[in-house]
Amino acid sequence: MGAAAAATTHRVILGLGGGIAAYKICEVASSLAKAGINVVPVMTAGAQKFVTPLSLATLCRHPAYTDREFWAATHSRPLHIDLGESADLLVIAPLTANTLGKLAHGLADNLLTNTVLASTCPVLVVPAMNTDMWQQQTVQRNWQQLLTDPRYHAITPGAGRLACDRVGQGRMAEPSEILAVIDSLLLTQGQRDLAGKHVLISAGSTQEYLDPVRFIGNPSTGKMGVALAQAAAHRGATVTLVHGPMVAAHRQGLTGVQKIAVTSAAEMQQALVAQLPQADWIIMAAAVADVKPRDRAPQKLPKAALPEQLPLAPVPDIAAHLASLKQPHQRLIGFAAQTGDIEPPAWEKLQRKGLDAIVANPIDQADSGFGSDSNQAILLGQQGQRQVVPPCPKRHLAHQIYDFVNGLERQGGAEENS
């Protein structure tokens, strides 16, 4: 959760259902409050069996509301009306089978469900329950019915060991993923403007091996590509992420994203070309190697056998190749990681490779580029469009990139209709 999310103070109603996974929400509450977001906890009677109102109030820096306050005649207006009308986002986690059933059928018998019906903001629901409970036909029917309402955004439970020692689906998403979706929903106000689009993204570095243990590579961690994948998925897109080697922690929060792991530039090109026909937008965020060792030894070379001058060979220019294959309806967006004056080389790369847009970002500035959680950029379009994005969390930059490409699409449509 980046500090930029709280540049305008948002109000998030954090609703807790009764389940052992409620303990995870303590981290979510604390992180939101530290980011400067106004977090208002609303607890069901069941939730109070697992987390106390005092704990939530302390973490949120705001009193925790329960059904006791709901039925008390101490408010000038009904509490659920005040809460519902003031909310920018309502989060329900863990979502239990009981609360799911009520929401699916428009029922309200406690403060949390009444607040949902009294609100018009987006609602993020994060289920958690035993595998057999989750797989019940009635529960799945309620789940599918709830998701037909465009207000509701969801993080489907994952698989793993549950509190009952059962291994299966039903495990609530981790706090980091919940926070990522909250961040996006506050930025976009819940819009699903990429629904119906397939976004194909490359991420991370490629590695070109000299022998089984030595390679030519670069410091790219894939964080920018993961942020792009998250942002696209949060806006309703179908997302495929083709990524080079990256640590598992950087791949978190990608529920519903198709992930294809590769190592070399040739493997990345093969995977991207295979996925290209169904893609609408292709975002080339990977830092692809420019050269590779001309020869690859099948066994580790002794130090004494390493050549003093390493013969090199070029690797495929993936972006240029995709530009030659793409159809008129497809948009190809490249990245240019630069030092010094970043704009001229990015503009030259945009033209030379036939891209629709390019993201020029500095790698010699503090808190930008490889490995950082934040970034900054200049966005350039084929027809001279230009937008400067100041330093911000990478997921925020990802959303601004999508806004920029959306603008290119609108301009293209206007020119075609003129």
For residue range 296-342, list pLDDT tens digits in order. Answer: 999 999 999 998 899 999 998 999 999 999 999 999 999 999 999 99
Closest among 221, 213, 220 to 293, alpha carbons compared: 213
Residue 56, CB-side half-sphere exposure with 13 Å CA sphere: 27
The values of phi and psi at residue 248, to 5°, are -60, -35
pLDDT higher than 60, residue 3: no
Contact 107, 143 (CB under 8 A): no
Angle (nearest 5°) at CA 331 between 260 and 320: 75
For the 198-412 domain, the top CATH level (class) is alpha beta
Contact 359, 367 (CB under 8 A): no
pLDDT, position 413? 58
Closest among 70, 56, 61 to 15, alpha carbons compared: 56
Output the DSSP codes for 15-83.
EE-SSGGGGGHHHHHHHHHHTT-EEEEEE-TTGGGTS-HHHHHHHHTSPPB-HHHHHSS-SSS-HHHHH
How far apart, in whole angstroms, are the C-alpha atoms of residue 231 and residue 398? 6
Pairing relation of β-strands 123-127 and 238-243?
unpaired
How large a percentage of the chain has pLDDT more than 70?
A: 95
Tokens, residue 364? 């010699």
Mean pLDDT of 254-274: 95
pTM score of the predicted model:
0.91
Residue 392 catalytic?
Answer: no
| CATH of the domain spanning 3-188, picked from 3.40.50.1950, 3.10.129.10, 3.40.50.2300, 3.40.50.150 | 3.40.50.1950
Ranking 25-39, 51-65, 99-113, 153-167 by mean pLDDT, the lowest is 153-167
In the three-class reduction of DSSP (H, G, I as helix; E, B as strand; rest coil), residue 142 is classed as helix
Domain 3-188 and domain 198-412, same fold? Reply is yes
Instruction: Tell me the domain boundaries of the chain.
Output: 3-188, 198-412
Mean pLDDT of 102-127: 97
Closest among 209, 247, 224 to 401, alpha carbons compared: 224
- Per-residue pLDDT band for 162 (boundaries 50, 70, 90) equals confident
Candidate list 60, 121, 164, 392, residue with the active-site label:
164
pLDDT higher than 80, residue 253: no
pLDDT higher than 70, residue 7: no
Ranking 31-40, 246-255, 271-280, 337-346 by mean pLDDT, the lowest is 246-255
